Structure 1
Amino acid sequence: MIVVGTDALSEPLRREPDRRVLEWLALNAGQLVLTTIAIAELRYGAVRLPEGSRRTALLLAVDRLVAEAGDRVCSFDVEAARAFAAIRSEREARGRSISVEDTMIASICSARGYALATRNVRDFDDVGLSLVDP
């Protein structure tokens, strides 16, 4: 299975999405997994917009992504919490910062043995995950 990172998951929501990413998402749809973290980040991005049609459309699009994922949504659980502590502390020891959200997504992948699809490979290149740049 492949967890879709927030940046890759947001691509279809862009005004001018990258066609290659859209094709990759469609081609791999059967093995893609979302995280509650990415869903939260997308919803946060939408609700920060002023009230209006763009905000409404983005929130509906996020809801559609979640509905399409069905039971392929991973939450941050105890195993991910254990992985979080290791990943974050190792990164800090090397002097490389990583956001809490990115650490949580990486931790979910690590705990489940899933790959991560991200356009920001450099943000995750040293956390021990199999990475895919769609």
Structure 2
Amino acid sequence: MIVVDTNVLSEPLRREPDRRVLEWLALNAGQLALTTITIAELRYGAVRLPEGSRRTALLLAVDRLVAEAGDRVCSFDVEAARAYAAIRSEREARGRSISVEDTMIASICLARGYALATRNVGDFDDVGLSLVDPWA
């Protein structure tokens, strides 16, 4: 399985999405998963918009993504919490910051042995994940 980071999932929602990402998503559709963290980030981005058709459309698109993912939605659980502590403390010891959300997404991947698709490979390059850049 490949967990799809927020920046990858949000790309098709853009007015002019990158063709390479759309093709990559279509090619790998059967093995993609998302996290509850990504759902939260996407919904947060949508609700920050002013009331209107764009906001409504984005919220519906997120709901559609969740419905399509079905049992491929990964939650932050006890195993992910253990991985979180290790990732965060190791990064701090090396003087490299990482956001709470990125740490949670990486932790979910590590706990399940899943790869991560992201545009921001440099944010995750030292946490022991298999990384995929759909823009490459």
- Shorter-chain TM-score bucket reads over 0.9
Alignment partners' CA distance in 2, 1:42 and 1:77: 20
Cα drift, residue 42 of structure 1: 0.1
Unaligned runs of 5+ in 2: none
1:38 is displaced (CA, Å) by 0.2
SS at match of 1:28: helix
**Match in the other structure for 1:133:** 133
Q: CA RMSD in A?
A: 0.4
Tell me the CA shift for residue 15 of structure 1: 1.0
The residue aligned with 2:69 is 69
Aligned equivalents of 1:39, 1:19: Cα separation in 2:
23
Q: 2: distance between equivalents of 1:80 and 1:12?
A: 28
- 1:37-76 Cα shifts (integer Å, max 9, x gaps): 0000000000000000100000000011111111110000
Runs of 4+ in 1 over 2 A off after TM superposition: none
Count of aligned pairs: 134
TM-score (norm 2): 0.98
Q: Distance in 1 between matches of 2:15 and 2:96?
A: 32
Q: CA deviation at 1:77?
A: 0.1
- Identical residues among aligned pairs (%): 94
Residue 85 of structure 1: how far off its partner (Å): 0.2
Q: Deviations over 1:102-124 (max 9, x none)?
A: 00000000000000000100010
* Structure 1 runs not aligned, ≥5 long: none
